[in-house]
Structure 1
């Protein structure tokens, strides 16, 4: 009997994120880790009911439900990894412009919305929660790491910045199908198309995404996960 695989729980925002990424990660780490993706049904860092006082509890709720559903012990979880959309959160206020709709529209020059103050408030809240979480090494004793897709998953993976909600699942299905049988190519794809100058360290990448307009540009630091957590084959 071989040693049981360590369970790594990835937390993402929605079901299409899970569709696009879970099977790729499962295949890449098939020999060493049990990768599971769970989603929060929205951006926890922008939730009006979430702040720095309760965000850890909200994240742990997702973990606890998974543990109970799978009849596991807390000790069965090796690591928790959360992937955030940056959503232009860290751009300067001077790059928030009055738009034609109350929907946040992400463009090369910034965010456009009829209610500029609403964007500023969202950015201030979201950036505060992300910065707070970046100071944490664990969630109630479970090792915790954070990664980003910018300005969101659709932009990073499909180069579609303002994708309609009803198209997200179709794009996610197509994206995963692109890598069936060649999941290892996903890492090369990130480096070639999405990293776009993001540093190869976790702390450096988060510092980078907070600068200038980087959080609305096409970037990711997800490649750093594969650097920080090499598979046994990579160590040979």
Structure 2
């Protein structure tokens, strides 16, 4: 009979996100868990903003998306002890009137400011508004979802994207994303404590250090454009304790 493995799976949005998180998470897992008993895996794919994804289908689509990855890795859902979805907020929770047409030229569109998303024209403005509504509806469906296919599940955010949190640039040029992600790898190589401290400083200021409070904050006004992340909640002792409980089950 095939022996079940114990794998914590992270689902991130893009390849650069995967590069940024892979090595720091590897260091963290090696410190807190025996690699012979607990593994971590990471995959990419942005499902919350996908035009084919709807609130009433997102759970099934997420499960199918993960299964394709597991099949490639010769893993099964029974091998998973937890699924962590890591998303960019992309400013999705802002009011529609904060998606504007630019009065001057920006180097790329959409362009993210602290209080608005700038688009090139009215057609792109409408597309971003529609994207925001879709992403918000999908996120609200899964933020409080306890399990996916019976596996413990939770969602953490980087706002307005991972580049914003790690590099203080919400509009990083695509050509620089991978090299900048590699810089994060180098910065926190063998330094899991520094990685945790760095993300602690990105947690919303003045907000109760809890999952629900962090999501309530990011949904208000233009907060989803501000530089914040609640990912440290997974990395703190409570999050790791929960993971250890899942390992022991």
TM exceeds 0.5?
A: yes
* Contact 1:199–1:208 (8 Å) recurs in 2: no
* Contact 1:22–1:35 (8 Å) recurs in 2: no
Task: Tell me what 2:148 maps to.
Answer: 139
Give the number of equivalent residue pairs: 229
Q: Distance in 2 between matches of 1:73 and 1:150?
A: 32
Q: Mapping of 1:132-211 within 5 angstroms?
A: 132-192=141-201, 194-197=202-205, 198-211=207-220
Q: 3-state DSSP class of the match of 1:230? A: helix
* Contact 1:156–1:219 (8 Å) recurs in 2: yes
Is the counterpart of residue 76 in structure 1 residue 79 in structure 2?
yes
Is the counterpart of residue 49 in structure 1 residue 58 in structure 2?
no
* Contact 2:6–2:39 (8 Å) recurs in 1: yes
Instruction: Return 5+ residue gaps in structure 2 as ranges.
Output: 245-249
Q: 3-state DSSP class of the match of 1:84? A: strand
Q: Distance in 2 between matches of 1:175 and 1:167?
A: 13
TM-aligned CA deviation for residue 57 of structure 1: 2.3
Task: Tell me what 2:61 maps to.
Answer: 58
TM-aligned CA deviation for residue 5 of structure 1: 6.9
**Superposition TM-score, scaled by structure 1 size:** 0.89
* Contact 1:138–1:144 (8 Å) recurs in 2: yes
TM-aligned CA deviation for residue 166 of structure 1: 1.4
Q: Distance in 2 between matches of 1:24 and 1:195?
A: 18
Coordinate RMSD, CA, aligned: 2.3
Runs of 4+ that moved beyond 3 A:
none
Q: Distance in 2 between matches of 1:184 and 1:91?
A: 33
Is the counterpart of residue 229 in structure 1 residue 239 in structure 2?
yes
Deviates more, 1:57-66 or 1:148-157: 57-66
1:35-93 Cα distance to aligned partner (Å, 9 max, x none): 111011xx311111111232222211232123222323321100100001000011122
